[in-house]
């Protein structure tokens, strides 16, 4: 009898991998220098930003595909890094 725990663990693992990849891509796009942990955090926060932007504001559903998740997580991470740069320059 499967309780679905394995699927949930795979889901978390997939989001961690997507977060690291999205943070890494955003780091390269924005030409910043972060470590693995900051890439993960940037990518996961970027996924939230990208998901909100695409689904709630633009009403676009990119589906459950991991590649689509990587695309909007990366866009969200780039937006996050851009805003953080603006805030850093302002202080």
How do residues 39-75 score in pLDDT, each as one tens digit? 888 988 998 888 888 888 888 776 677 788 888 889 9
Q: How far is residue 37 from each of residues 3, 59, 82, 87, measured CA to CA in Å?
A: 31, 31, 18, 21
pTM over 0.75: yes
> What per-residue confidence (pLDDT) applies to 56?
81
The answer to whether residue 64 sits within a structural domain is yes
The answer to whether residue 6 sits within a structural domain is no
d(CA 81, CA 65): 24
Q: What is the count of structural domains for the chain?
A: 1
Q: Is 4 helix (H, G, I), strand (E, B) or coil?
A: coil
The answer to whether residue 4 sits within a structural domain is no
The answer to whether residue 49 sits within a structural domain is yes
The answer to whether residue 20 sits within a structural domain is yes
The answer to whether residue 3 sits within a structural domain is no
For residue 35, pLDDT beyond 70: yes
> What per-residue confidence (pLDDT) applies to 1?
47
Full domain range(s) for residue 46: 15-90
């Amino acid at each position: 009898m499967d309780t679905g725990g394995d699927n949930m663990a795979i889901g978390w693992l997939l989001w961690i991998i997507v977060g690291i990849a999205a943070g890494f891509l955003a780091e390269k796009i924005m030409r910043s220098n972060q470590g693995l942990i900051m890439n993960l955090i940037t990518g996961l926060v970027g996924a939230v930003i990208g998901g909100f932007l695409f689904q709630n504001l633009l009403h676009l559903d990119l589906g459950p595909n991991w590649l689509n998740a990587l695309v909007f997580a990366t866009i969200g991470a780039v937006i996050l890094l851009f805003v953080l740069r603006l805030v850093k320059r302002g202080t």
